[in-house]
Structure 1
């Protein structure tokens, strides 16, 4: 089936998986591997019958919708064949390798992000359309990340159980970023992976992300490829020294490796510019101020709305807003001060691409919060809600326009996002299989 130029909903992904099982009887199996916190099924599509396993995890974050579409495109590619002696040929030999594809790791979060698929289906959709519909949980409610926060969600446990059961030589986690370029994070090096990843991005016109907030201190053996550093390496505050507790690192118990594959919804021009930034220290201080100022303005509206909003215990969006208001903006901004001092002492130490990556983070933090609060205000039954909604909507609209203008965004078609993620997973599988043979 051709990949539509829009993201598939969770229900559409499940229906497509069931159709594939019917079209390829015996080669594909669909089963439930667990239940979410509120009772939604966690479904896994398995393709092939080989003794070695690749585990693919789609939609680990509910505001990153591309993974479900990639899951179906990948499964169909595997079921159609062909196999052969190419780089990924051995990995696509379904008599040798079984592919286990978790269709959505966070269906509860995805339900709170319902509307992303429709909001981004138009060719002229904007970041404002996206942020009005997106929902991203607090860290302790993100299944891949929750174990780091010492919280074991049923979704996390289901994934750990699958890992312990199939012992994958490779796990691929399918992520996307609102703006920037594409990059891959690895829990250990994969030989010959980098060139295949770069070739795919170049073929599809997607810039590589030279420097990223998520892996600013990770080792960088190839352009756009980052490898988890030793545990004592300094990391941004947004990272965690306890990353070994995450589901990303669990395949390592069995000699496996994890690849986190990020693709952008919108590309930015500076994402692949490795040239030294001419004034990185000043730029980072401006971005820190941007985060703090936007956070203060959203929190000021939240302060006025708190009396009539649903309590945090009953509202996941409210929990996110309180989490962000309780120091997250400052945590992000403070984490950049050492980088700014470093840039002052060694001009040219940070690249234009690295500053661009932090620029994306600075602008998206208040947009994420404002989008959630606008939804709560729209649903609130209080005389003060409409006025607060109008005031916040004015801020949100201005921030969204500035996001597009400052970062020179251009839309990456969904088909290209899916094609690149699929190619990257196959390249990682070929590389990882060659390494264990």
Structure 2
């Protein structure tokens, strides 16, 4: 079955695993979402060392649930290949879905990408990503406390994991890993896994633009005082759930795998004209955002209010400065006395961000317009859909995107998590 599993399918599979391995696996509720949905954690093994895996922290990144089950089945099967996967030595604790409310609003992504040749057009019409203050891992940075966040903090304080792995994916690009501390043994197997599976290692990323980069595709969070080396909006990253295991000497690994890959993401050659390219990309994200906002302005009067509609909140958040925040951060690079050296891969990574920001907004707005009863809605939907379709086509052709089979995404992510656990455990053992 080469498709993403839904939240419900992941939960059902977890229960079946517990019934098959009653002495090794157990499932419990560790929290409740804002809308009353359960947050469940599957634990496999009885070892004294704890790994914490967080699936579906972003609802538009569906690979994590499927990866979570692959990891659970591996450990439950008695994989003693290393202390990290030996259930007698290490307990794997897997939060099956950190944001079930967001996943409910992204319901349809699994079906939309289950065709033989999924397209961005299908994906963005079903995907949903909440505002930063409503993302459980990120909310503390925005001075917001969510029950989902509090549940995760409580699990971290209870388990004191030596490693937390957050399972993420990116719409387009390559694979990379972000770490809160170095794992020197991870880069070699990570790169080997990606090569074997034919997935490019992404050599640049927007989120970790200024982070330490000890190896291709590996980014290590700089010290807390190095705020100038963080992406805009992440200056208080130390408050996030990613950094919580540091209280107990633990490390967090954020493992990203692409849905659609582009070989351009792994091109290490210096970009011949990075400054004009950065200016062009800043203009691209601003222009796309402006065009979506123009349609939003015409529709505001008959759309659901942001107080009650999460998609509307996202649209207003993006219109209220997010496009400019992204564009300005790139323009600042062009004003350095010595231009920041950028490979073609880094420009590619920023190109992806510039294209996806307006598409995320357009996909949400199209859904709201489709449901709106106002007589003006169909014409606005028609015009925005034309723009949306052209953007999707341009995105796919300009970056020469190719779909990465779900089984390959899961294999790369699960292997990388196991390698990270092995590396982190060896670093802690005397």
TM-score bracket for this pair, using the shorter chain length: over 0.9
Structure 1 segments (4+ residues) deviating >2 Å: 235-239
How many residue pairs get matched? 428
Shift of 1:237: 4.3
Does residue 349 in structure 1 map to residue 341 in structure 2? yes
The residue matched to 1:157 in structure 2 has which SS? helix
**1:143/1:153 contact within 8 Å kept:** yes
Residue number in structure 1 paired with 2:14: 17
Does residue 304 in structure 1 map to residue 298 in structure 2? yes
Distance 1:111 1:120 in 2: 16
State how 1:41-52 maps to structure 2 within 5 Å.
41-52=38-49
State how 1:268-283 maps to structure 2 within 5 Å.
268-283=262-277
**Which sections of structure 2, spanning at least 5 residues, go unmatched?**
none
Distance 1:340 1:232 in 2: 24
Residue number in structure 2 paired with 1:369: 361
Distance 1:18 1:349 in 2: 50
Does residue 292 in structure 1 map to residue 289 in structure 2? no
Shift of 1:345: 4.4
Distance 2:157 2:263 in 1: 42
What whole-Å deviation, never above 9, does each CA across 1:10-47 have from its counterpart, x for those lacking one? 00000010110111111100110010000000010000
Residue among 162, 186, 191 paired with 1:193: 186
**1:237/1:331 contact within 8 Å kept:** no
**1:237/1:332 contact within 8 Å kept:** no
Residue among 74, 77, 83 paired with 1:77: 74
Residue among 375, 384, 393 paired with 1:392: 384
**1:54/1:100 contact within 8 Å kept:** yes
**2:209/2:231 contact within 8 Å kept:** no
Residue number in structure 1 paired with 2:420: 428
Residue number in structure 2 paired with 1:326: 320
Residue among 60, 64, 77 paired with 2:61: 64
Residue number in structure 2 paired with 1:225: 218
Residue number in structure 2 paired with 1:247: 241
Distance 2:263 2:50 in 1: 38
Distance 2:116 2:224 in 1: 43
Does residue 406 in structure 1 map to residue 398 in structure 2? yes
The residue matched to 1:249 in structure 2 has which SS? helix
Residue number in structure 2 paired with 1:340: 334
Residue number in structure 2 paired with 1:382: 374
**1:184/1:262 contact within 8 Å kept:** yes
Distance 2:420 2:263 in 1: 26
**1:67/1:175 contact within 8 Å kept:** yes
The residue matched to 1:427 in structure 2 has which SS? helix
State how 1:74-153 maps to structure 2 within 5 Å.
74-84=71-81, 89-153=82-146
Residue 53 and residue 237 in structure 1: after superposition, are their counterparts in 2 closer, same or farther (change >3 A)? closer
**1:186/1:257 contact within 8 Å kept:** yes
What whole-Å deviation, never above 9, does each CA across 1:289-334 have from its counterpart, x for those lacking one? 1111110100000000000000000000000000000011111100
TM-score w.r.t. the length of structure 1 is 0.97
C-alpha RMSD of matched pairs (Å): 1.0
What whole-Å deviation, never above 9, does each CA across 1:151-210 have from its counterpart, x for those lacking one? 110000000000000000000000000001100000000121110111111111110010
Residue among 162, 166, 171 paired with 1:173: 166
What whole-Å deviation, never above 9, does each CA across 1:235-279 have from its counterpart, x for those lacking one? 354341110100000000000000000000011121011110011
Residue among 24, 28, 41 paired with 2:25: 28
The residue matched to 2:241 in structure 1 has which SS? coil
The residue matched to 2:42 in structure 1 has which SS? strand
The residue matched to 1:263 in structure 2 has which SS? strand
Residue among 302, 308, 312 paired with 1:314: 308
